[in-house]
Structure 1
Amino acid sequence: MTKIITAENIEEAAECIRRGGTVVFPTETVYGLGADAMNDDALRAIYTAKGRPSDNPLIVHIADKGDVYKLSSDVNENAKKLIDKFFPGSLTVIMKKSPIVGGVVTAGLDTVAVRMPSNPIAAELIRRSGCYIAAPSANLSGSPSPTVLRHVVDDMDGRVDYIIDGGNCDIGLESTVVDVSGDVPEILRPGKTTYEELKQILPDIIINDAILKETDTPKSPGTKYTHYSPKADVTVVVGSKENVRKVIQNKISVTPNCGVLTYKGGSYPGVFTTDAGDNMQQYAANLFYSLRLFDENGVEVVFAEFADEGGIGLAVKNRLFKSAGHKVIYADD
């Protein structure tokens, strides 16, 4: 049976982690499903709860920057620059793992993914438990990541020991993942920490080609298998507002039981709509919540408005395209 608590009872959750249990906790990005990163049985419980394949690595969460040097055998200059600038925060750094890191948390890779969350509840849980906490997003594998408590409960009630209610997550998308284990630093998953920000620190950083494509190589947590998909069938429509609206109007006229995810407002009479916001930061915060909202309202087909913009827009595009299985219409073509 799952127990739902608040931060006032965080010691219960910390004790659960110490004894090898599973705890869902809030972070600034999305809710995470955590267990002791050094306990292989506890890690297997994460995979079981999510229905997640065990060849998909997990991110190890820490509460002290110095722990990086215990988890990695090679904290190189690129890693140090990123850690100094962006820890704590929504950045995960991939480095060569140290001997203390086992094969379950890394899915057999020779690297480890490390993040230091800024959310105070997450940080306190890590500190109180005395453990490194491995945690993917707290959703059933393949579904949109949860950013509010009720979506955590929908997926994880009865599957985990504890859920900590921390309210709504601020960012709404998972962390940026950067691999610094090779000669050239590489963004494997975009997030709130943007390419533009990273390039100021590491001028030679590149973006992995697979970010907007399907991939079978799990170099990074959260980049393998179907991701972020609601039960509804999603199609993304990209372009100017006027052309996007024309395409979607034509589609909904011949598509039963459909809905529209609008961007910067808009009305489609007769169909269920929800708005992603007025800028890409709001789109990021609302995306996963909105995708689940369509399912809750019985919508079977979703058309999502999108406009190519920089910054966190790359992360929104990555998640949105994956949720649609890369079904994309370019309205301006």
Structure 2
Amino acid sequence: MRADLSAAADAVARGEAVVYPTETVYGLGADALDADAVEGVFELKGRSLDNPLSLGVPDVDTALRYTAPTPTEEAFMREFLPGPVTVVVERRTMVPDVLTSGKSRVGIRIPDHDVALELLGETGPLTATSANVSGSPSVTRLEDLDERIRTGAGAVVDGGETPGTESTVVDPGAGVIHRRGARADDIEAWLSDQ
């Protein structure tokens, strides 16, 4: 595992994308602050540039360097992260437009997975998107990884089979759940108490 993580960190430093496990599905990560690397992820997935990617970081304090959440949004982040939740908050200027499709807000993802967190600790912010070609099912086992992604990635970190439940995407400031997934009922309860 150590060799896989080192190879992945080296690939990210070269501007390449890597495949890594999370507590939901396998992710496709590249340097989220490097516009060219981010564009490479869109291209590798065959994803429209109009469909933003999320920003993966190892902890909430790191997320605060790249975002400007309200007190309510930060409280939500501290309650539900790390975990299978993507939290939409205001981004800071160092987050490239290509990541957010030019929008002022960005989805923050802090996976509750030791391997993913270790990788994020070594690389800095990564794109947080599923490691599949757009329109194809998410990948929970590396043997199901599309050949296009496998050959296009600079490294693949094997973390065994992942659970497969998608993250819930929520904008806690607006009180809106954009996509129901893991912990959606808990999130709905938290939002209703605000």
Shorter-normalised TM-score: what interval? Answer: over 0.9
2:13 is the counterpart of 1:18: yes
Higher helix share: 2
String of CA shifts for 1:153-205, please: whole Å, max 9, x gaps.
545221211111111002x1221100134xx31000111111x2113322168
Cα–Cα, structure 1 residues 203 and 197, in superposed 2: closer, same or farther, change >3 Å? Answer: same
- Tell me what 2:120 maps to: 126
Larger Rg: 1
Runs of 4+ in 1 over 4 A off after TM superposition: none
* Cα distance between partner residues in 1 of 2:83 and 2:132: 21
* 1:34 alignment partner AA: G
User: Offset at 1:135?
Assistant: 2.4
* Cα distance between partner residues in 2 of 1:204 and 1:18: 43
String of CA shifts for 1:197-232, please: whole Å, max 9, x gaps.
113322168xxxxxxxxxxxxxxxxxxxxxxxxxxx
2:156 is the counterpart of 1:156: no
TM alignment of 1:38-187, pairs within 5 A:
38-73=33-68, 75-129=69-123, 131-170=124-163, 172-181=164-173, 184-187=174-177
* 1:59 alignment partner AA: S
- Name which structure has the greater RCO, CA cutoff 8 Å, separation 6+: 2
In structure 2, list runs of 5 or more residues that go unmatched: none
Task: Describe the SS at the equivalent of 1:169.
Answer: coil
The CA RMSD over aligned residues, in Å, is 1.6
* 1:86 alignment partner AA: F
Identical-residue share of aligned pairs (%): 36
Question: What is the total number of aligned residue pairs between the two structures?
Answer: 194
Residue pair 1:7, 1:121 contacting (<8 A) in 2 also: no
* 1:185 alignment partner AA: G
User: Offset at 1:45?
Assistant: 0.8
In structure 1, list runs of 5 or more residues that go unmatched: 1-5, 206-333
In the superposition, the TM-score normalised over structure 2's length comes to: 0.94
In the superposition, the TM-score normalised over structure 1's length comes to: 0.56
